[in-house]
Amino acid sequence: MPVITAIDLVYDYGARRAVDGVSLALERGELVALIGPNGAGKTTLLSMLAGVLAPTTGAAVTHGRVGWVPQIGAVYSRLSVAENLRFFARLEAVPDAEAAVAAMIEQMELGERRAEPVGRLSGGNRQRVNVGIGLLGAPAALLLDEPTAALDPLQRERLWGFIHRFVATGTAVLFSTHDMEEAGQRPDRVLEMVDGRLV
Amino acid sequence: MRSRGRVLGWVMIKDLAILRRSPLLVGILVLYPVALALIIGLALGAPTPRARVAVYTGVPAGHGRVQLGGTAIDIGAYTRELSGSITPVRVPSVAAATADVRNGVTEAAIIVPADIVAQVESLVRNGVGTPTVRLILDNANPIERDLVSAQIQTRIDQVQAAIAKALLATALTDLHTVVAGGQLSFAGANVDLLGLSRARRIVAGAIPQLSRTALGGRLGPPLRRVVSFADIAIEGLSFASPVLGQLQNPLTVARTSLTAVRTPTAAYAVAIAVTVSELFLAMLLAASLLALERSEQVYARLVRGPAGPVLLLVAKLLLAAAAAAAVTFVMSAVVSVFVPLSWGRVELWVLVLLVAGLAFAALGVALGAVAREVAAASLLAILVGLPVAFLALIPPSAISTGLGNAVAVISFLFPFKAALGATAAALTGGGSGLALTLVHLLGLALAFGGLARVALRRFAAAA
Q: Which of B10, B297, B460 faces A74 most closely, judged by CB atoms?
A: B297
CB B314 within 8 A of CB B287: no
Q: What integer pLDDT is reported at residue B76 of this predicted model? A: 65
A161: part of which helix (H) or strand (E)?
helix A153-168
Bigger pLDDT: B19 or B104?
B19
Q: Which residue of A has its CA nearest to B16?
A: A79
For residue B393, pLDDT over 60 is answered with yes
Q: What integer pLDDT is reported at residue B262 of this predicted model? A: 40
pLDDT, one tens digit per residue, over A100-134 is 999 999 888 888 899 999 999 888 888 889 888 98
Q: What integer pLDDT is reported at residue A46 of this predicted model? A: 94
Test B3 with A93 for CB contact under 8 angstroms: yes
Spatial distance between the Cα atoms of B368 and B315, rounded to a whole number of angstroms:
13
User: Is B23's Cβ below 8 Å from some Cβ in A?
Assistant: no
For residue A180, pLDDT over 80 is answered with no
Q: Where are the domains of chain A?
A: 4-76+127-198
In degrees, to the nearest 5, what angle opens at C-alpha B162 toward C-alphas B156 and B167? 125
pLDDT class for B248, splitting at 50, 70, 90?
A: low
Name every residue in A having a CB less than 8 A away from some CB of B: 13, 47, 50-53, 68, 70, 72-79, 83, 87-88, 90-93, 117, 133
Superfamily of domain A4-76+127-198: P-loop containing nucleotide triphosphate hydrolases (3.40.50.300)
Residue type present at position B105: V
Measure B10 CA to nearest chain A CA, in Å. Answer: 7
Q: Which residue of B has its CA nearest to A91?
A: B7
Measure A87 CA to nearest chain B CA, in Å. Answer: 7
Across the range B260-283, mean pLDDT stands at 76
**Chain B environment of A70 (Cβ under 8 Å):** 297, 300-301
Q: Which of A149-158, B283-292, B333-342 is predicted most confidently?
A: B283-292
For residue A51, pLDDT over 80 is answered with yes
**Chain B environment of A92 (Cβ under 8 Å):** 305-306
Bigger pLDDT: B84 or B256?
B256
Test A74 with B305 for CB contact under 8 angstroms: no
Q: For the CA atoms of chain A, what is the radius of gyration?
A: 16
Across the range B302-308, mean pLDDT stands at 81
In degrees, to the nearest 5, what angle opens at C-alpha B373 toward C-alphas A69 and B444? 110
**How would you class A107 by CB atoms within 10 Å of its CB: exposed for 0-12, middle for 13-18, buried for 19 or more?**
middle
Q: Which region among A30-34, A137-141, B221-225, B363-367 has the lowest average model confidence (pLDDT)?
A: B221-225
**Chain B environment of A51 (Cβ under 8 Å):** 304
CB B419 within 8 A of CB B359: yes
Q: Where are the domains of chain B?
A: 2-45+262-462, 52-179+239-257
Going from the C-alpha of B350 to that of each of B200, B248, B276, B403, the distances in angstroms are 83, 49, 16, 34
Measure B302 CA to nearest chain A CA, in Å. Answer: 8
Sheet containing strand B132-137, edge to edge, reads B87-90, B52-57, B108-112, B132-137, B252-257
Spatial distance between the Cα atoms of A152 and B77, rounded to a whole number of angstroms:
92
Residue A168: count of CB within 10 angstroms of its CB: 10
Percent of chain B with pLDDT over 90: 17
Across the range B215-234, mean pLDDT stands at 66
Going from the C-alpha of B13 to that of each of A83, A90, A104, B441, B445, the distances in angstroms are 11, 11, 22, 26, 23
Test A70 with B300 for CB contact under 8 angstroms: yes
CB A117 within 8 A of CB A80: yes
Q: Which residue of A has its CA nearest to B300?
A: A52
Q: Which residue of A has its CA nearest to B294?
A: A74
pLDDT, one tens digit per residue, over B125-168 is 666 777 788 888 877 666 667 777 777 777 677 667 767 776 67
Test B301 with A133 for CB contact under 8 angstroms: yes
Across the range B436-440, mean pLDDT stands at 92
Bigger pLDDT: B112 or A192?
A192
pLDDT class for B260, splitting at 50, 70, 90?
A: very low
pLDDT, one tens digit per residue, over A57-99 is 999 998 888 999 988 878 999 999 999 999 999 988 888 889 9
pLDDT class for A146, splitting at 50, 70, 90?
A: confident
Test A79 with B21 for CB contact under 8 angstroms: yes
Q: Which fold is adopted by the domain B52-179+239-257?
A: abc type-2 transporter like fold (3.40.1710)
C-alpha closest to that of A171 among A143, A133, A129:
A143
- CB within 8 Å of chain A, chain B residues 380-409: none
C-alpha closest to that of A119 among A86, A73, A87:
A73
Q: What integer pLDDT is reported at residue B47 of this predicted model? A: 46
Spatial distance between the Cα atoms of A141 and A26, rounded to a whole number of angstroms:
8
Q: What integer pLDDT is reported at residue A8 of this predicted model? A: 94
User: Is B303's Cβ below 8 Å from some Cβ in A?
Assistant: yes
**Number of CB pairs < 8 Å for A and B?**
59
Spatial distance between the Cα atoms of B158 and A132, rounded to a whole number of angstroms:
81
Spatial distance between the Cα atoms of A157 and B84, rounded to a whole number of angstroms:
87
Question: What ipTM, to 2 d.p.?
Answer: 0.84
Test A87 with B10 for CB contact under 8 angstroms: yes
